[in-house]
Structure 1
Amino acid sequence: MVQNPTITHTQLKAFHAVAKTGGFTAAAKFLGLTQPAVTQQIKSLETQYGAELFKRVGKSVTLTSTGSLLLNLSDRYFNIAEEAHHLLTSIMQMKSGRLRIACDIAARAFPTTASFRNKYPDIKLSFSIEDQTTLETSLQDFLVDIAISGSPSSHDDLVSFPIAEEPLTFSVNKSHPLANYNEVISSEIGSNDIILVSDNPLEESIQKTILQHLKLTENTAQYYPNTDMVIEAAANNLGGTFLSRREIMHDKRLKSVRINDSDIKRREYLIMHRSKENTPLIEAFYQSLVSKD
């Protein structure tokens, strides 16, 4: 037995492969080595420590009790190595990476990302405008890295974080009679034409809650297929809408009037795949959105 033995990465890698694949031949194929080379690594490891790691029965092998204990350690070792790889890769991306962002409306893209762009000018940002269903599919298929939307996702493999919140408002053209006020009560909205989004199930649910809260009927509403059309309809004085200030702030034709007797909040969400939740680049983006600095 060698004095003060030291296990090598090559030995541990060979052991881990045999334990996971269940055989020397399968491990050799997995590692891209010859079967004798793998056998030699296991033999030298067992000899070096005077420990039997595998029970050999014909061409199959099973772990001994010592082998099972070592497998627990090798699992942790290689998991940490993989995490280190992802960490260093992500840090490298912070210097010259790319972030693909989907938004449900164009108005969210540039104002929302301004802080991140100023702090990380070397990160290339690309944008796409997609409806909620397409946006979520793009996240699930890893076609985009993150999404910014006025509605959270209900998919199990996607996570949504609120990044902005504001009181409910009624947005109208600046020539509209209600534009003369900074605040109104819900009863003052009832006699006005209301414009809503029709092709977004999550937004429809929010709108239904608003209408019920304000004791308004859906029969009085005009529906348009997406938020951009709703904004344009309101800007052309066809009625008012319950979009947030952030959603209409780019359009100087509109004014948002707060609904004083409503406790409903409009929110904006950052959505991502669960597997990307803790990556440094996306974490940095999230912090740029919620930072108070």
Structure 2
Amino acid sequence: MRPNHHQFTAFAYVVREGSFSAAAERLGVSQSAVTQQVAKLERNVGAQLLIRGRDGVQVTPTGQDLYTLADRLVALDSAIAEQLEGFASMKDGRIKIIANAPQPTLKIIARFTERFPGIHVDFGLHDWTTATGMIRKRLADVGLITDPPRSEDFVHHRLQTTRYVAYCRQDHPLAGRSRLRLADLQDETIILPEEGSLTQRVVKATLRKRSLPMPRTVTMTTFPVMCEAVLQGIGIALFLRDSSLIDEGMVEIEVEEFDTLHEIWLVATKDRARLRLVSEFVATATSTVF
């Protein structure tokens, strides 16, 4: 028996939402109904598509291949719904956005929700490796990524150019400097984002290129926590300029070796970029002044 539309839809939502219960909530059906549809799809395909665990689901290689097609079907279904059910009014709907840094994403979301207060925004902040992987696997509608991989399957809109800088507390001995060298930080505790971040990749690559040892480091999960760590006197943080609006009590200092400019791009799959929800978010992003 050939798989039907409901089986593909249930499977796609389980993968996107990360669990059967979340998929059921999005679809407005019972969890058992979603479970049955996915089980039927696995029987029809003749292979396991999902690995169930206590922390959610993992997608098998066969499942990932099928998900790409299933997600395109869901995107097409959403496009039809917009035409037939009046989403063109932008009074209802849901959009999933991910990013590897809070700025400029939060500024864009603020403008978007002001324009369309009825739209539910699901926003997730992830390290660079996770965020790029989620975009590649079609687990979000839109991604705002620093230096993202290029793909012909995606539309790309450049939003902002920035560079890495150091942030330290106003009363730190280095706070009066307008420019630093990495050698000046060798005796400092350096605060970095978690493993998998673009910042860690850039810092480690730059230190190797300059044959400098890795200074003492502390890793933090989010930019606000990094800022709080600076204010608490834990050390000096390295991250992209304007990554956070938290600046009271801190000073920003350029680092000589971080002279490369990095670009923040909005990326979305071409089929999802045609959806009204996504296209309006893209329009909001590209018209925002940073």
TM-score range, shorter chain: 0.5 to 0.7
Which of 155, 176, 184 aligns to 1:180? It is 176
Quick one: structure 1 residues 154 and 242, their matched pair in 2 at CA, closer, same or farther if it must change by over 3 Å?
farther
- Pairwise mapping of residues 1-293 of structure 1 onto structure 2 (< 5 A)? 85=80, 88=83, 92=88, 94-105=90-101, 109-139=105-135, 142-150=138-146, 152-153=148-149, 161-184=157-180, 188-200=184-196, 202-212=198-208, 215=210, 217-224=212-219, 226-228=221-223, 229-259=225-255, 262-291=258-287
Bigger helix share: 1
Greater shift, 217-226 or 163-172, is seen at 217-226
Query: Which whole-Å CA distance do the structure 1 matches of 2:134 and 2:257 have between them?
Result: 38
Provide the secondary structure at the position in 1 that maps to 2:238: coil
Distance 2:258 2:128 in 1: 26
AA of the residue aligned to 1:222: T
C-alpha separation in 2, matches of 1:83 and 1:128: 22
Q: Which runs of 5+ in 1 are unaligned?
A: 1-80
Alpha-carbon distance in structure 2 between the residues aligned to 1:93 and 1:141:
29
Which residue identity lines up with residue 179 of structure 1 in the other structure? Answer: A
Which stretch has the larger CA shift, 242-251 or 257-266?
A: 257-266
For the 8 Å contact 2:142–2:267, the answer to whether it is kept is yes
Which stretches in structure 2 are left out of the alignment for 5+ residues? 1-75
Query: Contact (CA 8 Å) 1:186, 1:262: kept in 2 or not?
Result: no
Is the Cα–Cα contact under 8 Å of residues 94 and 119 in structure 2 kept in the other structure?
Answer: yes
- Do the aligned partners of 1:158 and 1:271 also contact (CA within 8 Å) in 2? yes
Q: With structure 1 as the length reference, what TM-score do the two structures score? A: 0.56
Note the C-alpha offset of 1:184. Answer: 4.1
Alpha-carbon distance in 2 for matches of 1:179, 1:96 = 48
Aligned Cα RMSD in Å?
Answer: 3.9
| Superposition deviation, residue 222 in structure 1 | 0.6
C-alpha contact (below 8 Å) 2:157/2:286 kept by paired residues = no
How many correspondences in the alignment?
212
- Which residue does the alignment assign to 2:20? none
Distance in 2, matches of 1:162 and 1:221, equals 34
List structure 1 segments (4+ residues) > 6 angstroms apart after TM superposition.
Answer: 81-84
Please give the alpha-carbon distance, in whole angstroms, between the structure 2 residues aligned to 1:185 and 1:204.
17
Q: Answer yes or no: is the 8 Å Cα contact 1:185–1:259 preserved in 2.
A: yes
In structure 1, what is the Cα distance between the partners aligned to 2:244 and 2:126? 18
Query: Which letter does structure 1 place at the counterpart of 2:265?
Result: Y
Identity of aligned residues (%): 19
Q: Secondary structure at the match of 1:200?
A: coil
TM-score, normalised relative to structure 2: 0.56
AA at the equivalent of 2:142: I
**Bigger CA radius of gyration:** 1
